[in-house]
Structure 1
Amino acid sequence: MSRQPINESIRRLLEGNPNVLHVTDKTIQYSPEFKLSAVKAYQEGKTPYEIFLEAGLDPRQIGTDIPKQSLKRWRKSYDALGEEGLLSERRGRGSTGRPVTRNLSAEEQLKKAQAKIKYLEAELELLKKLEAAERRLRK
């Protein structure tokens, strides 16, 4: 089920809120500080609905399920990455990011290379079987 587009009057109202960074027709980008304070307030026992209302964000205007969904996402990020997970922009980088190879020991690099070789060998075998099956079908 898709959300209703955010109308212009609500968009202007939201853009005036210090807890909101940016608003489009369908999305609201909240400030990192708000995300962090919301997660901490939730840990203290407040409901997502209460947290958003106190921040000047009426769930009836933005969608009644938005506070709960947002808090769930932010808590997951906070649990995995701590405060930095909420204070830094992570879009497009995945939830944990790629491991940095320059910090791996020689033994870890060797294991990683061996795993890659094993994967590539399996891929090559699969391609050989596929070619053989295609040749049989052409005959």
Structure 2
Amino acid sequence: MSKKIFTNEEIEILSKNKYVKRVSAKGITYTDEFKRIFISEDGKGKFPRLIFEEYGFDINILGKRRIEMAAYRWRTAYDKEGVLGLQDTRKDNSGRPREKALSIEEKYERLKAQISFLKAENELLKKLDMLERGMMKKK
């Protein structure tokens, strides 16, 4: 988090941007849509500062460091988890364990979903392996 504290006027200006979820004196939460746009534009070779300016952010209010750190976080999250890494998960995950225990049926459904996911992942890996082998034979 940046050391810069937003004034009430700056908070009001930032809040009017459609790509801002929330703003407090110490931080700003961007929409998931803006993060996806940012990654897309960044992939085309645009500078982070230019992307923020094009989408209505005042660079003087945000500060260069805040922009650089947001860009770093989003690139890292995107490289690790793809588009899902850009989503704001704070509302979904408070860090506390579930209070209710899952029933046998719920556990069963969860395990079934996990198995089907792993099967699909295995199929994908098999296809990739076959493609790589085909490329090796051509060389």
Give the aligned partner of residue 21 of structure 2.
Answer: 21
Matches within 5 A, 1:26-105: 26-86=26-86, 88-91=87-90, 102=111, 103=114
Amino acid at match of 2:12: R
CA distance in 1, matches of 2:14, 2:49: 16
What is the deviation of 1:2?
5.5
Shift of 1:4: 2.1
**Secondary structure, counterpart of 2:26 in structure 1:** coil
Q: What is the TM-score with the length of structure 2 in the denominator?
A: 0.62
Partner secondary structure for residue 29 of structure 2: strand
**Letter of the aligned partner of 1:12 in structure 2?**
E
Following superposition, the deviation at residue 90 of structure 1 comes to 2.6
Alpha-carbon distance, 1:22 to partner: 0.1
- How many angstroms apart in 2 are the aligned matches of 1:57 and 1:17? 7
In the alignment, structure 1 segments of 5+ residues that lack a partner are 95-100, 105-139
Letter paired with 1:14: L
Structure whose CA Rg is larger: 1
Regions of 4+ moved over 3 Å: 91-94, 101-104
Tell whether the 8 Å contact from 2:2 to 2:66 is kept in structure 1 after alignment. Answer: no
Q: How many residues align?
A: 97
2:2/2:27 contact within 8 Å kept = no
Q: CA deviation at 1:3?
A: 1.4
**Do the aligned partners of residues 37 and 2 (structure 1) sit closer, same or farther apart at CA in structure 2, a change above 3 Å counting?**
closer
Distance 1:76 1:93 in 2: 22
Contact between 1:59 and 1:66, CA under 8 Å: does it hold in 2? no
Partner of 2:64: helix, strand, or coil? coil
The gaps in structure 2 that reach 5 residues or longer are 96-109, 116-139
Pick closer, same or farther for the CA change 1:14–1:39 going to 2, 3 Å: same
Q: Are 1:59 and 1:65, in contact at CA under 8 Å, matched by a contact in 2?
A: no
* Aligned-partner Cα distance in 2 for 1:93–1:12: 28
Deviation at 1:6, TM superposition (A): 0.3
